[in-house]
Structure 1
Amino acid sequence: MAATGRPAETVLATDRLTVRHWTQDDHDRAFAIYSRWEVARWLGSTPRALAEPAEARAMVERWRLRSTDPRFGVWAVERQDSGTVVGSVLLVPLPGGDGEVEIGWHLHPDSWGHGFATEAARGVLAKGFADGLAEIRAVVRPGNGPSAAVCRRLGMTLLGPTSRWYGVETEEYRIARTG
């Protein structure tokens, strides 16, 4: 539940997690996640950790405004047992307008090693396929072993290096809808 007492809109739930829209009430936790270099170093064409809490507020607002198509978004991942936001999971069109869709996850280091990224991503994959997507990709920077391991646990196939997106070389993974 958001700190204002209004529930945040739920996208999906798994056994342990609720995937929901970020709210402005979450900006402190967003800052706690994205101000850490160990998280930010893997993100974007020019990785940069947030320096000011106001940047987290603006980021959460951008994500909220991007969520006009219910198939896509950058969503908060919240533990059901504690209400703690452990990070983000995303399903977004890749830049370039070719119709490819990316899944990704960014977790606070205090939530690493608990299977939360894999659990949230499995739920988002199922949602994406139920919404009609035929395939979903992940792009992982070389050296990001934990994210590559999540891709493997999800059953994604490594297609190899690419620099098609974000202006940097990444490893491309893909999974297709079955049935």
Structure 2
Amino acid sequence: MMIASTARLVVRDWTESPDDLAVVYDIYSREEVMRWLGGGRGLLTDPGQAVERVRSWRERNAPYDGRWGLWAIEPRAAGGAAGSVLLKPLPGRDGVTPTDDLEVGWHLHPDAQGHGYATEAARAVLAREFAAGTARVHAVVMAGNEPSVAVARRLGMTHVGVRTDWYGGAELETFVLNRPV
């Protein structure tokens, strides 16, 4: 299902197609990607784990009926996914229980970085969410992840310091964006 689109991108559900599963494995098996996503927990080590990952995303986000989730970013010119964009409730201090705070995030294949895909996809899902009435969305970034800090700033997000409210109390650089007036 398509979630959003721009002139260059389609934001859509990840599928269990061989092409999507290969991209999921290629992204989430890379230490240079996973080190920014909880210190490498969840690193895929076998291509067969990609289908489990896609199914877990689908199951975790099913209650949100497409409003929130983790989706593929597909550049129209490439004909395949380049990464993920997410919009979902931040998990609390226990790392599991959803809070009332929403998070926007992005995970790109290293070859797809630097083309503006994360910013463009995030803008599209943020516009959709703000149109639905949400007042504020957060982005959380591990210290040292300067490319993600740059995306948050390009989105117009304001840095509000380090917070430990989410993801099991991890220290995260926190950015916020309020719905445009």
Q: 1:119 corresponds to which letter in structure 2?
A: E
Structure 1 residue 95 displacement after superposition: 1.2
Alpha-carbon distance in 1 for matches of 2:161, 2:177: 14
Partner of 1:47: 41
Residues paired across the two proteins, number: 171
Partner of 2:78: 82
Distance change >3 Å, CA 15–CA 159, structure 1 → 2: same
Structure 1 residue 132 displacement after superposition: 1.7
Query: Which of 58, 61, 64 matches 2:52?
Result: 58
Percent of pairs with identical residues: 50
Q: How does 1:85-96 map to 2 (within 5 A)?
A: 85-96=81-92
Aligned-residue CA RMSD in angstroms?
Answer: 1.2
TM-score (norm 2): 0.90
After TM superposition, what 4+ stretches of structure 1 lie above 4 angstroms from structure 2?
none
SS in 2 for 1:19: strand
Q: Does 1:161 align with 2:162?
A: yes
Structure 1 residue 46 displacement after superposition: 5.3
Alpha-carbon distance in 1 for matches of 2:101, 2:46: 33
Q: 1:85 corresponds to which letter in structure 2?
A: A
TM-score (norm 1): 0.91
Partner of 1:34: 28
After superposition, the C-alpha distances for 1:110-160 in whole angstroms (9 at most, x for unaligned) are 101111110101101101111221100000000000000000000000000
After superposition, the C-alpha distances for 1:75-108 in whole angstroms (9 at most, x for unaligned) are 0000111212000000010113431000000000
C-alpha contact (below 8 Å) 1:41/1:48 kept by paired residues: no
Alpha-carbon distance in 2 for matches of 1:178, 1:121: 15
Partner of 1:15: 7
Q: 1:84 corresponds to which letter in structure 2?
A: G
Structure 1 residue 45 displacement after superposition: 6.0
C-alpha contact (below 8 Å) 2:34/2:40 kept by paired residues: no
SS in 2 for 1:31: helix
Structure 1 residue 162 displacement after superposition: 1.1
Structure 1 residue 44 displacement after superposition: 2.5
